Amino acid sequence: GSCKVYDTLGNDISDKVTVSGGVIEIKAVTTTTTETSTTPTETETETTPTETETETTPTETETETTPTETKTETTPTETTSTTTTATETTVETVTVAPGAALWQISGTTITESDSDQTVTLPCLVTNGGDPALAVAGAEFTIVTPDGLILTGVVGSEGYGADIDRNDTKSNYAFVNESGKGVVAPDGSKVFELTITVPGGTAPGEYIVDFGECKIYDASGNDVSERVVTKGGTIEIVAKTTTTTETATTTTVTETTPTETETETTPTETTTATTETTPVTTVTTVTTVTTTVTETTTTVAPGFALWEISGTTIEYSDADQTVTIPCLVTNGDPALAVAGAEFMIVTADGLVLTGVVGSEGYGAEIDRNDTKNNYAFANESGAGVVAEDGAKVFELTITVAGKTPEGVYSIDFDSCKVYDANGNDVSGKVITRNGAITIVGKPETSTSTSTSTSTSTSTSTSTTTSTTTSTTTTTTAPSVETTTSVYVEIKNPIVGYYFSHDYRLFNNNGAKGQLGTVIMYYVGEDGALIKSEDITAKVDFGNQSPQNTYDKNNKTFKYAVKLYLNGKELTDKNNKAVTVTAYIGVKGDVNLDNLADATDASRVLAYYAAVQTGSNPDTTTLYASDKELDNLCAFLGDVNMNEFNAENFKVAKTAANNKNGKRLLDATDASAILNYYARRQTTNKLTDNQIWVQVLGVDNVISAK
């Protein structure tokens, strides 16, 4: 709220203390109920009738039987089972601070469809305690993922006002007609969105979020910082289709002609002989080879990475047991840890049966297997620096027999870490989840051949000879086995970042660079088996602009790698899948890794040129390269709020920001000069701390 700080002489030194709030996030619990309906199948059998003609003459009788062929054809049957998933969502309970409010867009789950679907997502309000926040008006933007179409915004029921709409730019606003501040009832709608999901949209999670949001009280004051906004998710689940094919069995029976002669001879009987060809079964086993790419991770100074390893096993009908270590990687200087408490959550099909350690931190694990809670503390209470690659702990996991092919996650659910003084240093430990990948079961082919020959000869007045041959062939359904996967990223965009931004790319808007990420599954014959949209599942590991930036990189261009469950993703040519980031020093318009008077002069020159009629697209700040010139504009637009979620992708296309473009003017030049003057008079503050003095803590990402 407010914070006053004084020195020993009673002077107010509040401007030298940076304060930053925290966030308590309570995740929703989702219960999913699955109902399965199966369409019955019918099998029809058609048999061709046989005819026998007999001609008889006196004394010598010949019986001719036309060879008959009997075919039994079984019509292949196809069974389609459609699984309908009904989702039941438990609404999370959120505690909001007094005088604040939460505006949260609700989520929903639908099943994929070939036809367009329409969903409504209400944005609900939750108020803090006494006093509650009274709102007179607001203006906001709504951001939807590519493919989803925002077709309507209505409200505001909660604040007693009508929504003014600009659908072209997804900008919306409301103002209470009386101009008074209104306290919306808990659970009432701030607004309601109508969204069209086009037919054929791939399964996945699609986030509908606030872009910018400004909120005002009855006096016109900006109270946006007192309203927490949260986006919602439309989850599209795959419809399950199972196809069963019944192989066709053909039986051919041939009967040789029968001759009958009348003679007076003694009776001679020949015993029938039956020959049977043994049944032969051939089983072909396909061996799957999985290549694991080792990833080198750089950890920030004073931080540590705890990473649960991953492994790949083959499908089995029997239970399998695997051990999964959690390994540590330190920054320099390393983080000393005295103890920790954590929870481990495994995917369905996996059973956590043991946790041992900690080898790395010289302590024994205390276990509560019922709740999957675990803890360790160094006996002496001292902080211990684990060696790089040492085990924080090791998990023993049982994989149930007949668990299907797929990727099964092993996650940290919560993790608290403490130093020797009992301080919570959890913010300095990056936890990364692992996974067990199960590859498909072997392909089995069975061939059966049976041959029977019967001969009977009878001599009295009749001789009979009969030969019967039967061949039966059964082909088992083939099983497609995945032998490799690769990833392709479609329509990525370039991002621009400050070198002091310590936030992970996962958390600073960089996921907006991704476009669509597709994983392809390939069989042993090189044929594509299936593809999957994994955009919502990938991340950037522990990479951030700060730990990626290298002042010796004169191109300012970086390839930021993508990960899935802690494993680096590769493309068809086994090269890392990346997005492009340009990273530089705030205020550095001439790209010399310094912000000084020269940079301020360049901003003023550009601003003057555009104001007198020069085309902003062709007037360069410094670099002739388009992307580098965009980086120069990003670095020079110093008074743009660094927390703006869209800032990373705004290009230099106009000298105004009314349409969301980059604004470079005399204000930016003045701020750069102000920074430079302060930089020249002190060596005790970091560059970032000086920018906080110039622009305010609410506009600059605090240093770490």
HEC string for 555-620: CCEEEEECEECCEECECCCCCECEEEEEEECCCCCCCCCCCCHHHHHHHHHHHHHHHCCCCCCCCC
Give the pLDDT score at 686. Answer: 84
In Å, the largest CA–CA distance within the chain is 144
Q: Please name which of 621, 653, 623, 657 lies closest in space to residue 641, comparing C-alpha atoms.
A: 657
- Amino acid (one-letter) located at 117: Q
Better-predicted residue by pLDDT, 29 or 384:
384
Here the tokens at position 644 are 């703006």
Better-predicted residue by pLDDT, 118 or 302:
118
Strand, helix or coil at 36? strand
Q: Does the pLDDT at position 452 exceed 70?
A: no
Mean pLDDT throughout 190-212?
A: 91
Give the pLDDT score at 319. Answer: 92
Averaged pLDDT of the chain: 76
Mean pLDDT throughout 294-310?
A: 76
Mean pLDDT throughout 616-632?
A: 83
Q: Does the pLDDT at position 303 exceed 90?
A: no
pTM for the whole structure = 0.38
Alpha-carbon Rg for the chain in angstroms:
37
Q: Does the pLDDT at position 280 exceed 60?
A: no
Cα separation, 488 vs 574, in Å, equals 11
Cα separation, 617 vs 401, in Å, equals 62
Q: Does the pLDDT at position 383 exceed 80?
A: yes
Strands 304-308, 429-432: parallel, antiparallel or unpaired by DSSP?
parallel
Q: Does the pLDDT at position 87 exceed 90?
A: no
Query: Do the beta carbons of residue 635 and residue 588 sit within 8 Å?
Result: yes
Q: pLDDT band at 23, cuts 50/70/90?
A: low
CA–CA distances in Å: residue 503 to residues 209, 251, 322, 509: 20, 71, 34, 10
Give alpha helix (H) positions in 121-249. none
Mean pLDDT throughout 82-90?
A: 38
Q: Does the pLDDT at position 593 exceed 80?
A: yes
Give the pLDDT score at 389. Answer: 93
Q: For 88-115, b where at least 16 C-beta lie within 10 A, e where not — what string? A: eeeeeeeebeebbbbbbbbbbbbbbeee
Q: Specify the DSSP class assigned to residue 544.
A: -
Q: Does the pLDDT at position 242 exceed 80?
A: no
Mean pLDDT throughout 638-652?
A: 83
Mean pLDDT throughout 537-563?
A: 91
Better-predicted residue by pLDDT, 612 or 300:
612
Looking up tokens 């925290």, which residue turns up? 22
Q: Which span out of 66-75, 134-143, 426-435 was modeled with the highest average pLDDT?
A: 134-143
Give the pLDDT score at 146. Answer: 81
Give the pLDDT score at 441. Answer: 60
Cα separation, 295 vs 557, in Å, equals 20
Cα separation, 366 vs 379, in Å, equals 12
CA–CA distances in Å: residue 74 to residues 50, 242, 249, 454: 19, 20, 6, 27
